[in-house]
Amino acid sequence: MYQPLRVVQITDTHLFADPHQVLVGCPTWVTLAKVLEQVQLFQPDLLLLTGDLSQDETPASYQNLVDLLRPLTCPIYWLGGNHDQPELLTQTLTAGGLRPDKTFVQGGWRFILLHSPVPGAVGGLLAAAELAYLEQVLHQSSEPTLIALHHPLFPVGSPWLDDSALANPEQFWHIGDAHPQVKLVLCGHVHQERRWQRRGVTYLSSPSTCIQFAPQAQAFTLDTAFPGFRWLELDPQGNFRTGVTRVPCQWVVDAQATGY
């Protein structure tokens, strides 16, 4: 019997150079460490990191990430988010043994990792070169395909978050709709679990490994949900199972916080 490819998505870790520093009260190094303990129990074949890996954009924050990931023996791939510093991210993670490839095939699936951050902005955009790259890869391959990027293509119903979604989803769909092998699109950024369907494609957002944002909130509001990760089981025919695992963690929330 064929064993499905076991994939884990980790997103929005928001690490600092100082492992003891907190984000609106949350010790992000500690919560990521606890999440990764549960990830190891899942025994993934592949790990995807989908951006906002650092909060302070320092080399040391990325080195902390590399060190925390060291016990995992599976291939680890990554993309950046709006809180990341692209050059430092690339240098530190590649030197730490993480895979820099932005397209690859494993378990009969094609994976495509897209860069959506815009320098100096919170919101996302797929630049013309990134869209051309997506179209080229899809044109040259036929495997069931999972695409990952940091920013969501759909609104989540929170105005303060929806202002920073992907600015040009129609251009993505213009390409994706023409390639039926696209099955899944994963994103981070919104610190909550959501699911959308469009033309046979499933779009998924996933919880952060640290703070969670309250669904449907008009302004910045923290949720009480625990940190977590998304797991996926993919078979070569394009079928999949997925879910979110939450990891109990306790900390004192900064009740005065109006942002992060």
Residue 20 sits at the vertex; the CA angle it makes with 14 and 23, to the nearest 5 degrees, is 40
Q: Which pLDDT band holds residue 79 (cuts at 50, 70, 90)?
A: very high
The mean pLDDT of 15-23, rounded to a whole number, is 96
Distance (Å, rounded) from C-alpha 193 to C-alpha 212?
9
Check the CA dihedral 203-15-92-124 and report its sign. Answer: positive
CA nearest neighbour of 244 among 14, 15, 10: 10
Q: Give the class (CATH, top level) of 5-246.
A: alpha beta
User: Which pLDDT tens digit goes with each residue over 137-190?
Assistant: 999 999 999 999 999 999 999 999 999 999 999 999 999 999 999 999 999 999
Q: Which pLDDT band holds residue 251 (cuts at 50, 70, 90)?
A: confident
Contact 251, 26 (CB under 8 A): yes
CA nearest neighbour of 189 among 52, 60, 16: 52
Q: Which pLDDT band holds residue 255 (cuts at 50, 70, 90)?
A: low
Q: Which pLDDT band holds residue 82 (cuts at 50, 70, 90)?
A: very high
Distance (Å, rounded) from C-alpha 102 to C-alpha 197?
24
Whether the predicted pLDDT of 55 surpasses 90: yes
Q: CA 260 → CA 55, 203, 213, 217, distances in Å? A: 9, 26, 11, 15
How confident is the model at residue 253, as a pLDDT? 76
Each domain of the chain, given as residue ranges in start order, spans 5-246
Count how many residues are written for the chain. 260
Q: Which pLDDT band holds residue 23 (cuts at 50, 70, 90)?
A: very high
Distance (Å, rounded) from C-alpha 115 to C-alpha 107?
23
Whether the predicted pLDDT of 258 surpasses 90: no
**How much is the pTM?**
0.96
Residue with tokens 């630049």: 127
Distance (Å, rounded) from C-alpha 238 to C-alpha 4?
11
Q: Give me the chain's average pLDDT, please.
A: 95
Distance (Å, rounded) from C-alpha 79 to C-alpha 63?
16
65-79 burial, b for 16+ CB within 10 Å, e for fewer? bbebbeeeebbbbbb
Q: Which pLDDT band holds residue 1 (cuts at 50, 70, 90)?
A: low
